[in-house]
Amino acid sequence: MGSLLQDQGDLDVAELLYREALAALREMLGNEHPHTLGCINNLGLLMQDKGDLRAAEVLMREDLDGCRKTLGQRHPHTLRSIYGLGGLLQAKGDLEGAVACYVEEIEGCAANYGAGHQEACDSVANLSELLNGMGRREEAAALREQYCEDDGFAP
């Protein structure tokens, strides 16, 4: 219900529902259960939507730490959390932190699925745009070449 309300723009009620669900999940399943971590991530994304980037970062880092510990470094949910934290850091203006997260996520996708996989290439496209905006065109080109050789990106 929280997701539906979030999609409809009722962020305050969605937050209340996410927090209620999170409290119940923490009590029933513990802090590092995958369902609890998913709820933490959802609440973090909601807080980002609300513009409370500080609260969002606390939640997203908790989710990522729990995913690393419970699921491992290369689990798809861990990689999703890394990518999400990168987006948040980018929104906060911490571009170096965002780049580090995106690179880690790309390396994880390539390790899991192989270089050239669509998920890795989509992430490379996003990171390339960020790097190009930072004036780091050579680094962006090297990433595209390393992970998405025939991707059709413009230099």
What distance in Å separates the CA atoms of residue 140 and residue 12, rounded to the nearest whole number? 39
Supply the pLDDT for residue 2: 87
User: Whole-prediction pTM value?
Assistant: 0.89
Cα–Cα distance list, 120 to 2, 60, 82, 137, 139 (Å): 30, 21, 13, 19, 16
Burial of 38 (0-12, 13-18, 19+ CB in 10 A): middle
Collapse the DSSP code of 116 into the 3-class scheme (helix H, G, I; strand E, B; otherwise coil) and give the result.
coil
Q: What is the pLDDT of residues 98-122, one digit of tens each?
A: 999 999 999 999 999 988 889 889 9
| pLDDT at residue number 154 | 41
Provide the pLDDT for residue 153: 45
Q: Domains (ranges, CATH) in the chain?
A: 1-71 (1.25.40), 96-155 (no CATH)
Selection from 117, 144, 115 nearest residue 131 by Cα:
144
How much is the pLDDT for 115? Answer: 83
Q: Could you tell me what percentage of the chain is helix, strand and coil, using 3-state DSSP and rounding each to the nearest 5?
A: 80, 0, 20
Q: Which residues of the chain have pLDDT under 50?
A: 151-155
